[in-house]
Chain A
């Protein structure tokens, strides 16, 4: 009985973790002022990839 109850609890909890873990947290959690700032104000990379052309100045 002990094995069945705790085994079921473990399986159910893992199922919740693998499903809920992939869902984004609620706005209540994300949109608040006192969040821990671990990574600084890192913004996504906005460099546009493409061909670069060297600019030569003629003097």
Chain B
């Protein structure tokens, strides 16, 4: 049966699942538009939830692993299943990842006194300085820039994946160990921190462009969520880098 005869017989489908994607939206979502204010406020809400979760994780370290698993599942659901539902999944993600971060920060803090506040200060410092660079036009994200960052992140996650698989066989890359204070290992961590920082610029550009083109309101939550994912990754890598430096 040809495509035209199918349409003639059954009519044109109005199922939103068949027209999903960033270029086509259900009419219901088009009532309100994405704004910069909204995206920044929602990032604030997610940060507050993440801090609340971190307090829980800090006091109940048994929640560290469940927090990581639940956070990972919620991130996958938000990214691949339904970005339009980011308004309900992103706060839960921030809370779950907060408990994970609280537990992991406690472990680092027990090994190296005062490392947590250093990592928090550096993470937000990088966030603010890169935002200033982006807003002023000092850093201009282009297609080539995006390609470079995405390729770098792809390589890093391949490294993580191989390390994760090797972990089950009783080995792994010693370079990724937080207690490895060699120059090579510190250099690798520094590189990963650079890529995580540069992906913040892509998140800023995503939010700016979305607000400029009048994307639907739920994209505010999606933009805030993507910023949170990058911030959490950056914080973890800074923690690892600082622990390597202090292990020397």
A: which residues have CB within 8 A of B?
2-3, 5-10, 12-14, 16-18, 20-30, 32, 34-36, 38-40, 42, 44-45
Contacts and interface: CB of A to CB of B under 8 A. Distances in A.
Question: Looking at chain B's contact residues, is the secondary structure mostly helix, strand, loop, or mixed?
Answer: helix
Interface centre among A24, A27, A36, A45 (most CB of B within 10 A): A36
A29 B136 CA distance: 7
Given A3-B117, A21-B40, A42-B23, A34 B131 contact: no
Interface string B140-182: 1111011000000000000000000000000000000000000
A39 B125 contact: no
Given A28-B136, A39-B210, A44-B214, A6 B37 contact: no
Contact of A22 (B37, B140, B209, B215): B37
Given A17-B40, A18-B40, A29 B121 contact: no
Given A3-B114, A28-B136, A36-B142, A9 B209 contact: no
B130 to A, nearest CB: 10
Interface string B24-61: 00000010010011011001100100000000000000
